[in-house]
Structure 1
Amino acid sequence: MKWRSLPAGTVAIATGVIFFLSAIGAPGAPAAMASVVEHTFVVRQVKMTHLCKETLATVVNGQFPGPAIEVTEGDSVTVHVVNQSPYNLTIHWHGVKQRLNCWADGVPMITQCPILPNQNFTYRFNVAGQEGTLWWHAHVSFLRASVHGALIIRPRRGASSYPFPKPYKEVPIIIGEWWDMDLLKADWGIQQHVIDPYFNASTINGKLGDLYSCSGAVEDGYLLDVEPGRTYLLRIINAALFAEYYLKIAGHKFTVVAADANYVSPYTTDVIAIAPGETMDALLVADADPGRYYMVALPNQSPLPDPQGPTLITRGIVQYSNKQRAADGGGRPSSDIAVSPEMPDQHDMITSFYFHGNLTGLHHPQHLEVPKHVDERLFITLGLGSICRGGQSSCKRSENNESVDVATMNNFSYQQPAVATPLLELHYYNTDNCVLSMLQELPDKPPRVFNYTDPALILPGPKEAKLEPTSKATIARRFRQGAVVEVVFQGTAILSSESNPMHLHGHDMFVLAQGEGNYDATRDVPRYNLVNPAVKNTVFVPRLGWVAVRFIADNPGIWYMHCHFEFHVSMGMVALFIVEDGSTVDTFLPAPPADFPTCGHDHNVMSNEFYPI
């Protein structure tokens, strides 16, 4: 892969970001207003020390989290990725719709060849028709734990056009995890069910916070300075692999105004629930007594008998500026001891259920109407199962070493196809017979009906044993161009009762309803919100519950649909949604870029050393 020469007229600046006027613009906007925003991402391993241990961390430009990409609606983005790490990797632009541009979606061996070590690749895409907070991350193995960053899209007309009070400042808040083990080894251990890896600390903007220490010295925490009376727009991202988080700031409330780069009706709350993959935009008014207040992020988890991990809380400080505090005199606390919020219990899942249920869409110029007619309906159960090791047809199960636990959708666990050319290229060049021979159709419903949320299924036993065996295949579902698809995701209790944040690439979804227990169409369809549902790219399926969504399959290509808990991805909770071409230019996938690379032969692109199979 060769470096592309930069376009004539570009001017490099010290930060590595390049802006220039372009003829590319948002629909209806003057062409000269749009820019090309250009970055270079150098991915390499650097030594970082936390918790008294030096760790080789894979990061972008030496930063954890990586650099933020800040653009305006309608801009084009060019990112040169230079891979100086020892791993194959790709970058996924999470939530960017990639309209007619599936080639830039960044899924290895689906949309592109992985970027090999010591090679480079350039992504080009636009952000027309989108506003808000998105993010980018590695889409290979567990590497997104350290290879990620914010992608912020501001309105073309400026901050004054926000459908909420103009904030004084905008502040990215990235919740993540610190791992002191090799991330590829963690992924392999999950797949093979031979180790049970877990992160070492939670982070806010890469900082572990003062709940963690090394030889008595506390770790640095994130510090947000605020001025009394000012309004701050927090752009909150959950980049963690393993947990949904509760976020609170003592003495303050949030007004949630957007989720997944879609505006929502303003919702005031003292706690934000945010699952891996989700983004939330929330207004914070600095209206408390001047002082210091803890910002706390707590990972929640399903209660026993589900497996339990350590409760790794992290916290930063919201601090009223020293100047303002001094001027305020007796109005501030007599000490600098920070005030702590009262957090939900780590096993409290109902707070998340109500938080997500209270999000509704906001009517504004870009608001889309919910399609009333449905062309296809899918009922997809999400859970765990097992397959026999070594391809055997029979084996002992129930967590026996003869079997391997897998994650499933309608009793199928996804298997990466053994191909030398990405599936999107095979699909585009009319070699669909080849593609079809490798794919197993994702069925409309699970193979059997049962009490999906029966708690007795969590532990091995007679009921569970009948449901545990599953199949491994490259599961996919084809949709005609423009089809309206309704999906009900049903959580199950098989071997685990965990929730599932389900992310669909290339499309947004209308979140029509959610519920606890088993979905019942007769009871639940009349409760659908067809007027102002929240619009999301990552929908949170509650523990032992369900969520109903609707989307329009109008973006041709092959798109990943998967859980955003990384252990579920590694275990196979993935399906491919294939959207066929239409008959017009704006419904037909263009050819790949002229310099789109082919997969090299100097490394086996399907090798476990670089890419999980």
Structure 2
Amino acid sequence: MGKAGQQPARLQLLDEKKEIPATEAARTGRGRRLFLFAGVAAGLIVVALALGLGLGLGLKHHHRGSPAATSSPSPTPSPSPTNSTASESLQSWRRDTAEYNLSMDWDINAAPTTRVFNLTVSEIQAAPDGVMRTMLVFNNQFPGPLIRVNQGDRVLVNVTNQLTNATAVHWHGLYQNGTNWMDGTSGITQCPIPAGTSFLYNFTVENQFGTYWYHSHHSTQYTDGLVAPFIVHSPEEAAVQKDYDYDQIILLQDWYHDLSTALLPDYFASGNENAEPVPDNGLIQGTNVFDCSSYGDDSGYDCQNNSTQATFAITQGKRYRLRLINVGAFGEFQFSVDNHTLSVIEADSTLVEPVTINRLPINIAQRYSVILTANQTATNYWIRSWMNTYCFSDDNAPILNPDVKALLTYTNTTNEPTESADWASALDIVCEDLVTATLVPSGITPAPSADVAYKIDVAFQIGAYALDKAYINSTTWVPETIPTLNQAVAGLHTLNNSFSTSGLSTAFDQTSQFVIDVPNYQVVDLLINSLDEGAHPFHLHGHQFWVMASDSTGDFDWSTYKDLNTTNPMRRDTLTIDAYGWALIRFKADNPGMWAFHCHISWHMEAGLLMQFQTRDDIMKDWTIPEDVLGLCNG
């Protein structure tokens, strides 16, 4: 490819194509075209990468009893709520989600300060929907405590691990510029925190604000309850605060009645062909009801019909900002409120020009803010978060009721709605994002011309012993014992050239670590091509990216490259790649460190659907990783 906007000029083989048995090759439904584009001074050159086979999703669900808790931790104080309201009596393990009602008295103009939080990770027995199970939680309660700060604040979070296993905490969407080792990504930016020890996350939130969240980034732990909101305010918010009277966080989540570690063996069983566990229920604000009669007497579950749906009280004529966060593991939701239209104003911490909708698709790890105006008859209405079961090949009936509901009440009662009506518009039958073209950032940030571009293929491959693993090109990710960040910094210190060569890194084992090295500042285009019949919500750590183009079919037409919208394309950090679809994203590789790019379906990440970008070697070569971070690897 010549200058940005021109087509690729020539092909150059980068690494040899790996042999795929004919029986495996026959399973794929699409041809393999896997290319890596590497930049040169004159423009962009295309280079081919190795294969990955694309297979479909065959979904099954097997119920099993929950193992007993192995510890009885003492609670650790959580950050004080910013406001409090009267609430009915709660079980001790239920968090009073009144703290998710964000006080409008918060000073968004306050001078930067240091804010300290204490998190204890522990194991409890709890029943968010009436089914008792083992859970992993922050501060002995579910969901986790709110972290609320201002742009420019220094954040100190002391994490004490009371589990029998290691853990790590990732701050989803935060740049961690200059503190890559605080990103909380096990095997990449740190060794996990050993059982019985503590670790202090210490970072400053700069040059960003909006709706974020935090969760465990070790194996599939967050699936079991280690999730919580993280809100960053800024003086720039004043422009939108005039449009609402109240600010409310709402967590959406698919839910399993078994520990994720109990479900993994069946998922990875020989010959299972990617049968991800299907959720048993969905939660809004960490709660829901469940029909215990759907389980037989011999199910092994302790199920009580004593749980409730979340209730949100509103006042006639007021306007509410609802910060929606999908903290689930597998399911996309379609969010709506009966009789009330919604106005989208934020997507993944990017403020956008208001867009009026009836239903909002929100995939795993994505965040949207919508404004709801209380302008209907003063009664009760259903809030619906419909789990898109079309993305599963098994509906898990009769266990799963995908119509996950909460109550919107003008009367401050829990009466069943009588005038509530769902929207007549059909539910989506595919898992896909809100159409990107409808989202226009309210702050104009043009996309610069790309210096270098890479193309990857996302697929599942049946390998030895008929084990099904996820692949990015020829690599299925396995966490390193020594984090890749530690290895890269050490290699750069010793002037090992393999750690500072542009393109696919040869410094790591390419069977388990797909690392693209961008040694100096460049603007990167990444073309993601899905060879799988399931949709994948991909998240890039440490960056926001521009969504340059996407489609659910075919291939990117390079003849249109020069015509892409660069004036003000949508910016976000989590994007759904459609089944058999593709997307072209662009980002500035200006943030030094090792940054994961992965599917946020927890089962898929555990299956290996993750790659990394190593950026700004010119800065990393002078880094000294803090001793406490290095010390985690001695535990």
Q: TM-score, normalised by structure 1?
A: 0.77
> Which residue of the partner structure matches residue 460 of structure 2?
384
Q: How many residues end up aligned between the 2 structures?
A: 517
* Correspondence 1:128 to 2:164: no
Moved more, 336-345 or 203-212: 336-345
Letter in 2 for 1:320: Y
> Which residue of the partner structure matches residue 505 of structure 1?
541
Among candidates 416, 422, 429, match of residue 483 of structure 2: 422
Distance, in Å, in 1 between the alignment partners of 2:562 and 2:551 is 13
> Which residue of the partner structure matches residue 585 of structure 2?
549
> Which residue of the partner structure matches residue 527 of structure 2?
488
Q: CA RMSD for the aligned pairs?
A: 3.3
Distance, in Å, in 2 between the alignment partners of 1:518 and 1:321 is 51
Distance, in Å, in 2 between the alignment partners of 1:209 and 1:262 is 34
Change (3 A) 1:50 1:507: closer
Distance, in Å, in 2 between the alignment partners of 1:410 and 1:130 is 33
Q: Deviations over 1:8-52 (max 9, x none)?
A: xxxxx9754599xxxxxxxxx999811211110011111112565
Is the Cα–Cα contact under 8 Å of residues 338 and 421 in structure 2 kept in the other structure? yes
Is the Cα–Cα contact under 8 Å of residues 343 and 356 in structure 2 kept in the other structure? yes
Letter in 2 for 1:315: K
Letter in 1 for 2:346: A
* CA shift for structure 1 position 345: 6.0
Q: Deviations over 1:486-513 (max 9, x none)?
A: 01112224xxx11111111111100112
* CA shift for structure 1 position 237: 0.5
- Fraction of identical pairs, as percent: 22
Q: Deviations over 1:86-124 (max 9, x none)?
A: 221100000000011101000112111111111110101
Gaps of 5+ in 2: 1-75, 83-106, 294-301
> Which residue of the partner structure matches residue 135 of structure 2?
57
Distance, in Å, in 1 between the alignment partners of 2:304 and 2:466 is 44
* CA shift for structure 1 position 481: 2.5
> Which residue of the partner structure matches residue 570 of structure 1?
606
* Correspondence 1:36 to 2:141: no
Secondary structure, counterpart of 1:163 in structure 2: helix
Is the Cα–Cα contact under 8 Å of residues 391 and 430 in structure 2 kept in the other structure? no
Distance, in Å, in 2 between the alignment partners of 1:592 and 1:437 is 20
Q: Deviations over 1:463-501 (max 9, x none)?
A: xxxxxxxx94211110122111001112224xxx11111
Larger RCO: Structure 1 or Structure 2 (Cα < 8 Å, ≥ 6 residues apart)? Answer: 2
* CA shift for structure 1 position 541: 1.1
> Which residue of the partner structure matches residue 368 of structure 2?
280
Change (3 A) 1:123 1:216: closer
Q: Deviations over 1:128-149 (max 9, x none)?
A: 1111100000001221121010
Q: TM-score, normalised by structure 2?
A: 0.74
Among candidates 406, 411, 418, match of residue 337 of structure 1: 418
Distance, in Å, in 2 between the alignment partners of 1:589 and 1:308 is 52
> Which residue of the partner structure matches residue 78 of structure 1?
156
Is the Cα–Cα contact under 8 Å of residues 511 and 547 in structure 1 kept in the other structure? yes
> Which residue of the partner structure matches residue 320 of structure 1?
410
Distance, in Å, in 2 between the alignment partners of 1:298 and 1:44 is 30
Letter in 1 for 2:484: L
Gaps of 5+ in 1: 1-12, 20-28, 326-332, 389-401, 445-470, 603-613
* CA shift for structure 1 position 197: 2.9
> Which residue of the partner structure matches residue 404 of structure 1?
467
Among candidates 151, 163, 168, match of residue 245 of structure 2: 168
* Correspondence 1:197 to 2:277: yes
Distance, in Å, in 2 between the alignment partners of 1:345 and 1:211 is 26
Is the Cα–Cα contact under 8 Å of residues 321 and 372 in structure 2 kept in the other structure? yes
Among candidates 135, 151, 156, match of residue 235 of structure 2: 156
Change (3 A) 1:442 1:482: closer
Change (3 A) 1:44 1:14: closer
Alignment of 1:432-471 (within 5 A): none
Secondary structure, counterpart of 1:185 in structure 2: helix
Is the Cα–Cα contact under 8 Å of residues 385 and 407 in structure 1 kept in the other structure? yes
Distance, in Å, in 1 between the alignment partners of 2:622 and 2:319 is 43
* CA shift for structure 1 position 177: 2.5
Q: Deviations over 1:532-575 (max 9, x none)?
A: 21111111112222111100100111111101111111111110
* CA shift for structure 1 position 85: 1.3
* Correspondence 1:475 to 2:508: no
Letter in 2 for 1:92: H
> Which residue of the partner structure matches residue 537 of structure 1?
573
Distance, in Å, in 2 between the alignment partners of 1:353 and 1:238 is 13
Alignment of 1:109-258 (within 5 A): 109-145=187-223, 146-156=225-235, 161-163=238-240, 165-192=242-269, 196-209=276-289, 217=305, 219-258=307-346
* CA shift for structure 1 position 227: 0.6
* CA shift for structure 1 position 431: 5.8
